[in-house]
A and B are shown apart, each in its own frame.
Chain A
Amino acid sequence: MKITVQNKNGELAFDCGARESILYAGLRQGINLPFECATGTCGTCRARVVSGDIDVRWKEAPGGARLKPEKGDILMCQARARSECVLRVPSELAVSDKSPAIRRGVVRGRRRLTKDVMHFDLHLAAPMSFQAGQFVVLEVAGIDGGRAYSMVNFDREASRLSLVVKRKPGGRFGDWLFDASADEAEVELFGPLGRATFRPDEDRNFVCIAGGSGIAGMMSILECASRADYFRSHQAAMFFGVRTLADTFYLESLSRYAASSHGNLEVTVALSDEAVVAPLHAQYPILKLAQGMVHEAAAKGMAERDRNVIAYVSGPPIMVDSTLRSLITGGVPIKDIRYDKFS
Chain B
Amino acid sequence: MTWKRICDAAELAENSVKKFDVDGIPIVVVNYGEGFRAIPPICPHMEEPLAESGVVAQCILTCTKHLWAWDLRTLEMQGETERPLKTYETKQEHGAILADIESELTYEFDTDDNDSDDDFFK
Contacts and interface: CB of A to CB of B under 8 A. Distances in A.
What does DSSP make chain A's interface, helix, strand, loop or mixed?
A: mixed
A302 interface: no
Contacts of A181: none
B117 A88 contact: yes
Interface string B87-122: 000000000000000000000011100000110110
B73 interface: no
Given A92-B82, A324-B64, A331-B58, 18 more contacts: A7-B121, A8-B118, A8-B121, A44-B46, A44-B66, A68-B110, A71-B110, A71-B111, A90-B121, A325-B64, A328-B55, A328-B64, A329-B55, A330-B57, A334-B67, A334-B78, A335-B78, A335-B79
Interface string A60-74: 000000101001010
A194 interface: no
A321 B79 contact: no
Contact of B117 (A48, A92, A321, A325): A48
B62 interface: yes
Contacts, number: 53
Interface size class of B (residues with CB under 8 A): 20 to 34
A41 interface: no
A91 interface: yes
Contact of A334 (B69, B82, B120): B69
Size range of the chain A interface in the assembly: 20 to 34
Nearest to A68: B110
Contacts of B55: 325, 328-329
Nearest to B69: A334
Interface in A27-46: 36, 43-44
